[in-house]
Amino acid sequence: MEIKEIKYLSSEYEQALELRDKILRKPLGMKLTEEFCRQDKEDFIFGIFEKNRIRAILHLKPLSDSVLKMRQVAVDNTLQGKGYGSKLVMFSERFARNNNYKKIVLHARKNAVPFYLKLNYKITSDEFYEIGILHFNMEKTILHF
């Protein structure tokens, strides 16, 4: 298992798009569009790879010099519940800490809230609908040692 940064429009990025589409978009009847993908241009994108195949993906979008928004977190269906998502989130937190970010915020699908709570993210909003499903705002302060 290897965690690495994925460059926008690279061959690894194409694999990441396929995984995001399969896990996050198709189940909701949504399609990836060129306009949607352009949002990724400024993101820090990280993936877990095994034997050169992507297994999990996570994006961090800078909102300011101190805040990152975590988005587009997806783990291959066959590997969910096996620690891949947690490893990727913890990697992203180290990245944030090493680059002097103070906070990570995210919109968690309601069914993903327990996952983020286990990783010490806090709910900061009432539930709301986004892309037709319930979400909560969540956040975590990044401690600097």
pTM for the full predicted model: 0.89
Rounded CA-CA distance 117/114 in Å is 5
Nearest CA to 128 out of 106, 105, 110, 104 is that of 110
User: pLDDT tens, position by position, for the chain (145 residues)?
Assistant: 899 999 998 999 989 988 888 888 777 777 766 776 778 889 999 999 999 899 999 999 999 999 999 999 999 988 988 999 999 999 999 999 999 999 999 999 999 999 999 999 999 999 999 888 999 999 999 987 6
Q: Which residue has the tokens 């399969």?
A: 22
Q: Name the CATH code of domain 2-141 (choices 3.40.50.1950, 1.10.3720.10, 3.40.630.30, 3.30.590.10).
A: 3.40.630.30
Rounded CA-CA distance 128/130 in Å is 7
Integer angstrom CA distances of residue 136 from 9, 40, 89, 102, 144 = 30, 22, 17, 20, 26
Q: What percent of the chain has pLDDT over 70?
A: 97
Domain boundaries, the chain: 2-141
